[in-house]
Amino acid sequence: MDHASQTNTEGHVVALEDESTDGISRLSFLATGAAAGVGATLLGPLGKAATALADRGNGALSKGDAAILRFLAAAELIEADLWQQYNELGGIQDAQVPGGKASPPYVSALEVLDGDMSQYIHDNTHDEVSHFTFINAYLKSRGAEPVNLDRFRELPSSKATGAQQIGRLTNLTELTVDTSWWTKYRSSTKNPDLGDKFPRAVPGMAAGRFPAIPRSDSDLEPADHIQAIANTAGFHFGAVEQTGTSLYPALAQRVSDPEALRVLLSIGPTEAMHFQTWHDKAGNAPPLTDPVTGLVFPDLNAPPLGGEEFKTNLIMPKPTVFLRRSLPVASIVRPTNTQGAALATFNAIAAEELFRGQPKEFFSTLRELATAADAPNAGDRRRR
Ligand SMILES: [Fe+2]
Ligand SMILES: [Fe+2]
């Protein structure tokens, strides 16, 4: 430990860090022994009493913490917009997630992946709406500006029966999906944080632009075409949610306010629960060639694929190298590097062509939010 430490009244070693950039000392504490002293009163370097682990989140957020939460609000608005489109055509229609009427042929094709797909799509949509609604309300409650992307809701809706005709933030009709997340979570020797690259489960999805929802009722047949659209959705679901699974732990490392950190640590794992569900379902996408687009979904269980990198029932995060190759492998979320994490996330989503048709101002607005969230002073908790 290169920072000051002292022992508190309960015998826990307390690390005192004064890294203040805003005049407020930040204390973090390292507990030894069984339990951290919840609510233990610590004396900071300036003699001010601070209550660790019992921060009620009073007062305004630091600029950096607000920037991190604002980028997350934007990411959740985007997630909610795409999930809403999936739900209108492929999910359950109810008062919780209103707007659509469902497209029975699309629902049937999704059900090939799992009989409960409509429920899962509905619930994932509901969760994302709750995420942006909560984060924006939380930002306001802590004196920060919420995020509103309504001016960019200009992209067209699907013309297929079941979708409402409103402006959208995202475009699900010309997606270029990178399915390397499939092998990234199955590798026991590689980690994207260490610069490693991963083969794609469905290479064709990254080599063109494909619909993940029916664009109109003419996409509802032949059967292998609408199945290919449902398969594309199935792999896109995993791609979206593994991004969120990494984003929260990546950004949490630079949050300084304990309650704001609690927000990230409590929402982030729900993204992992979504991802785990979709990881399982994508493996049920039937191998086929789309007769309209030529997109090939290979048999992931048969040679030349199969094995540890492709087999469809290997859905747990394989233990792999973490931090340094000299350490033992661990089952972990990957990547979690914090440097540049927000901008890398935005660039990865943009590369999916999810924003195809959006004006330059949309991209510059999102890049500004990401850059602010990635700023080195964003609630920096790093130890010197
Ligand atoms: Fe979310
Ligand atoms: Fe999500």
The per-residue pLDDT for range 120-156, each reduced to its tens digit, is 999 999 999 999 999 999 999 999 999 999 999 999 9
What confidence score (pLDDT) does residue 377 get? Answer: 62
Distance of CA 271 from the midpoint of ligand 1 (Å): 6
Name 278's Cβ contacts closer than 8 Å, sequence gap at least 6: 120, 234, 237, 238, 241
Q: Token pair 């999936």 is at which residue?
A: 86
Phi–psi pair at 330, nearest 5 degrees = -145, 150
What confidence score (pLDDT) does residue 366 get? Answer: 98
Instruction: Identify how many contiguous H helices and E strands the chain contains and give both numbers.
Output: 9, 6
DSSP string, 94-109: SSSS-S----HHHHHH
Query: To the nearest whole percent, how much of the chain has pLDDT over 90?
Result: 82
Distance of CA 275 from the midpoint of ligand 2 (Å): 8
Which of helix, strand or coil describes residue 120?
helix
With a cut of 90, say whether residue 171 has pLDDT above it: yes
The number of the ligand nearest the C-alpha atom of 264 reads 1
Cα(88)–Cα(367) distance, integer angstroms: 29
Distance of CA 159 from the midpoint of ligand 2 (Å): 25
The number of the ligand nearest the C-alpha atom of 349 reads 2
∠ Cα 278 363 181 (to 5°): 25
Looking at 44-48, 238-242, 356-360, which range is the least confident one?
A: 44-48
Ligand 1 ion: nearby residues, β-carbon < 5 Å: 76, 79, 128, 131
340: which 2 tokens?
A: 């540049």
Distance of CA 162 from the midpoint of ligand 1 (Å): 24
Cα(218)–Cα(226) distance, integer angstroms: 10
With a cut of 90, say whether residue 276 has pLDDT above it: yes
Distance of CA 78 from the midpoint of ligand 1 (Å): 9
Interior/surface letters 328-344, b for 16+ CB within 10 angstroms, e for the rest: eeeebbbbbbbeebbbb
> Which secondary-structure segment (H or E) carries 13?
strand 13-16
The number of the ligand nearest the C-alpha atom of 243 reads 2
Distance of CA 296 from the midpoint of ligand 1 (Å): 30
Distance of CA 289 from the midpoint of ligand 1 (Å): 32
Distance of CA 293 from the midpoint of ligand 1 (Å): 31
Give the mean pLDDT of 343-364: 97
What confidence score (pLDDT) does residue 376 get? Answer: 82
Q: At what angle do helices 258-282 and 117-141 cross, to 10 degrees?
A: 170
How confident is the prediction for the chain on average, in pLDDT? 88
Distance of CA 83 from the midpoint of ligand 2 (Å): 9
